[in-house]
Amino acid sequence: PLQCGIVGLPNVGKSTIFNALTKSHSAEAQNYPFCTIDPNVGVVAVPDPRFDYLVKIVEPKSSVPVAVEFVDIAGLVKGASQGEGLGNKFLDHIRKVNAILHVVRCFQDENVTHVSGAVSPKSDVEIIELELILSDLDQVDKRLQNLLKKKKSGDKEAVEQSAVLERVAETLKAGKPASAAGLSADDREAIKDLALLSLKPVLFIGNIDEKLLAHPEESPEFRELQQVAKERGAEAIPLSGKIEAEIGQLSPEEEKEFLSDLGLSEPGLNRVIREAYGLLGYITFFTAGEVEVRAWNIVKGETAPQAAGTIHSDIERGFIRAEVTPFSAVEEYGTQKKAQEAGKMRLEGKEYVMQDGDVVYFRFNV
Ligand code: GDP
């Protein structure tokens, strides 16, 4: 599944948030076979009211929502790229993830020590960012060295990769993340195997005082984080680790009341999961049969046969047509069948580009 790594300075609330994420027993999470792969990795369901609706009207034997894997990457501290603390081992962990959730402390609490003395979102972000940048620079330099010989012998790929890496190195040396190097899709492809940390999409999470949760803009620390995120073309989401941890302990009924008392419509973690999913450029389509209702994730722009291939390679190979009903029509007419009777089901061929929310049945030759 999609993997998100949770990073941030020590004591900002990473573990609290990770635990709340993986232990929350919202309705969606309940019907996902939650698995703990290891204490620092948890799989959670992507909350999606469309999925819940389909399950409700179809009443299938089983239902499987889209899953996202979260990895708690503790141990990233100042000096990590230099091998301090548990250093580089953790950086290697991050190389494997698709996206990074960067947790930043925005709450004041005298009882919780701040590693650098004061709560300061901007400099906190910069400390973590610098470690990622230094680690990347190390990788890039090593690779450039290795490519020298091949480059001299005129190896085309080596020449191409070196050219991109030299630009990246320049950006990194200026203290900027590789994502600021203005790389094209082709450039990114050429250096993909390096899995550069500072090239990964980032979502910032401001762990704020629970009293300000309903009005995060009243927190100067959160406003500072929003500015930091904006400068990076990223989003900042307010969250209270403390509150999310409490929500995780409640029954669904208690949860509703608790949230409405706080002036919230859903747990902050739901938004985090959805935003993380969107950050990766994914869209969702559904299959909704009586045996199983399932949500699938594909990359935006994929065609019907490619989508079929995420279910099974045989379905892609034998693809004939896709019966497509937009979820909005299913909802409008109440059921898939009624939507179809109203002429809302379309037959689509091999060229069809899948749309978010398509409810699909694939016809295929065995
Ligand atoms: P990590 O080192 O980033 O994983 O941080 P932890 O999740 O272990 O949290 C560090 C300390 O901060 C713990 O004592 C938590 O109880 C506390 N903490 C976490 N989130 C909040 C919060 O939203 N508000 C307050 N006041 N304390 C929090």
The DSSP element (H or E) to which 95 belongs, if any, is helix 87-95
Q: How far apart are CA 162 and CA 143, in angstroms?
A: 8
pLDDT band at residue 351 using 50, 70 and 90 as cut-offs: very high
For ligand 1, atom 18: residue with the closest CA: 13
- CA of 364: how far to CAs of 257, 313, 320, 355, in Å? 48, 11, 5, 20
pLDDT digits over 137-149, tens only?
Answer: 999 999 999 999 8
Which residues, 6+ apart, have CB-to-CB distance to 273 below 8 Å? 21, 44, 45, 46, 47, 68
DSSP string spanning 316-345?
A: HHTEEEEEEEEHHHHHHHSSHHHHHHTT--
**Could you tell me which of 286, 289, 291 has the C-alpha nearest to residue 359?**
286
More confident residue, 118 or 237: 237
Q: Are strands 292-299 and 62-64 parallel, antiparallel or unpaired?
A: parallel
pLDDT band at residue 170 using 50, 70 and 90 as cut-offs: very high
Question: Could you tell me how far CA 135 lies from the centroid of its own chain?
Answer: 22
Mean pLDDT of 240-262: 87
Q: Which residues make beta-bridge pairs with 62?
A: 292
CA angle centred on 191, ends 101 and 129, rounded to 5°: 35
Q: Give all domains of the chain, ordered by start, each with its CATH number.
A: 2-279 (3.40.50.300), 301-364 (3.10.20.30)
182 has binding-site annotation: no
Distance 74 CA to ligand 1 centre (A): 13
Residue of 9, 14, 16 with the most ligand 1 atoms within 8 Å of its CB, for mutation: 16
pLDDT digits over 322-333, tens only?
Answer: 999 999 999 999
Q: Can you give the pLDDT at residue 80?
A: 62
15 has binding-site annotation: yes
pLDDT digits over 197-234, tens only?
Answer: 999 999 999 999 988 988 999 999 999 999 999 999 99
pTM: 0.84
| φ, ψ of residue 79 in degrees (nearest 5) | 95, 0
* DSSP-assigned letter for residue 352: P
Q: Can you give the pLDDT at residue 44?
A: 83
Range with the lowest mean pLDDT among 13-17, 321-325, 359-363?
A: 13-17
240 has binding-site annotation: no
Q: Can you give the pLDDT at residue 3?
A: 86
